[in-house]
Amino acid sequence: MDTRDLDVRRHVYFSVVANGRPPTAVETADAFGLEPSKAEASYRRLHDAHALVLFPDRVEVWMANPFCFAPTPHRVTAGGRVWNGTCAWDALGITGALHCDGEVASECACCGESLALRVEDGELVEGGDVLVHFLVPARRWWEDIGFT
Amino acid sequence: MVFLRSEEHLVRWLAANGWEPGASMGAETLNELARVWWWSRLDPGWQPRTAAESQALLDSVGLTGDFWRLG
């Protein structure tokens, strides 16, 4: 991950906040005056460095953690948008990343019952009775980040 | 990482999927972790954290022990 990759990563994250979605590699190439293949190579290096996550079958951003660009059970209302949180951790992380208040509408992994959590001024003010479970030990989180 | 209504639902969920338990915490602890972990994610000068720096963040909210060792 070199300086250009960090610039590309910053462009991806700023685009996410501005537009609610990540730029395609072609859009990023246009923004930097690069050949699309160079932007795709940068996306792959960022993926390999765990700085973002690409879909398994294409060079397109799946996760710019804590933001996710595929459906999940975790809907987060924060910063004037509704986001998908990759997992429970990322769902609560969106208010942290955006430095704002927010609400998480999620569900119990067992029964599917709706669960509501709310963060104000960094504090969890609703949902304090909700339980969180991590199945995968920390050293194995990146073996299969989709499952983790 | 998932949300669950209760310990009872956790036990039922693990059994239904044939999974061994990992580690649990309350949502307040996860919120503390999420806040410190993701706080700088949008900083213009963001740089990747070292493993030691990430480990220190886990430690800072009391997530210690083998399950929480990053490497």
Q: Which residues of B touch A13 (CB under 8 A)?
A: 41-42, 46
Whether B43 and chain A come into contact, CB under 8 Å, resolves to: no
The answer to whether position B11 is within a domain reads: no
Q: Which CATH number fits domain A68-126: 3.30.930.10, 3.40.50.2300, 3.15.10.60, 1.10.10.10?
A: 3.15.10.60
Provide the total of helices (H) and of strands (E) in chain B, helices listed first: 3, 2
How does pLDDT run along chain A (148 residues), one tens digit per residue?
Answer: 899 999 999 999 999 999 999 999 999 999 999 999 999 999 999 999 999 999 999 999 999 999 999 999 999 999 999 999 989 999 999 999 999 999 999 999 999 999 999 999 999 999 999 999 999 999 888 777 777 6
Residue B16 lies in a domain: no
| CB-based contact, B49 to chain A, within 8 Å | no
In a domain, B20, yes or no: no
The reply to whether residue A132 touches residue B58, judged by beta carbons under 8 angstroms, is: no
Place of tokens 């599917």: A112
Find out whether A39 and A32 touch, Cβ atoms under 8 Å: yes
**Tokens 């990146």 map to which residue?**
A142
H and E: helices and strands count for chain A: 4, 9
Q: ipTM of this predicted complex? A: 0.93
Q: In chain A, which residues fall in CATH 1.10.10.10?
A: 3-64
Residues 23-62 of A with CB under 8 A from B: 49-51
Query: Where along chain A do the CATH 3.15.10.60 domains lie?
Result: 68-126
Q: Using CB atoms within 10 A of its CB, is residue A90 exposed (0-12), middle (13-18) or buried (19+)?
A: buried
Query: Closest Cα of chain A to B8: distance in Å?
Result: 10
Residue B32 within any structural domain of the chain: yes
The answer to whether residue B13 sits within a structural domain is no
Report helix, strand or coil for A90.
helix
> Can you name the CATH fold of A3-64?
Arc Repressor Mutant, subunit A (1.10.10)
Q: Do B24 and A14 touch (CB under 8 A)?
A: no
Q: How far apart are CA A62 and CA A55, in angstroms?
A: 5
| Residue B52 domain-assigned (yes or no) | yes
B7 shares contact with chain A (CB less than 8 Å): yes
Does any CB of chain B come closer than 8 Å to the CB of residue A70?
Answer: no
Per-residue pLDDT tens digits for B46-69: 999 999 999 999 999 999 999 999
Q: What whole-number distance in Å separates Cα of residue A32 and Cα of residue A6? A: 12
Per DSSP, the three-state class of A48 is helix
pTM for this one?
0.91
Q: Give how far Cα A122 sits from Cα of A14, A105, A126, Å.
A: 22, 17, 12
Sequence-ordered alpha helix ranges (H) in chain B: 7-17, 27-38, 51-60
Task: Give chain A's length.
Answer: 148
Counting the structural domains of chain B, the total is 1
Which residues from chain B sit within 8 angstroms of residue A133, using beta carbons?
Answer: 1-2, 4, 10, 13, 21-24
CB spacing of B10 vs A133 below 8 angstroms: yes
Count Cβ atoms within 10 A of the Cβ of residue A137 and give its class: 0-12 exposed, 13-18 middle, 19 or more buried. middle
Q: Is residue B62 part of a domain?
A: yes
Domain of B31 in residue numbering reads as 25-39+48-71
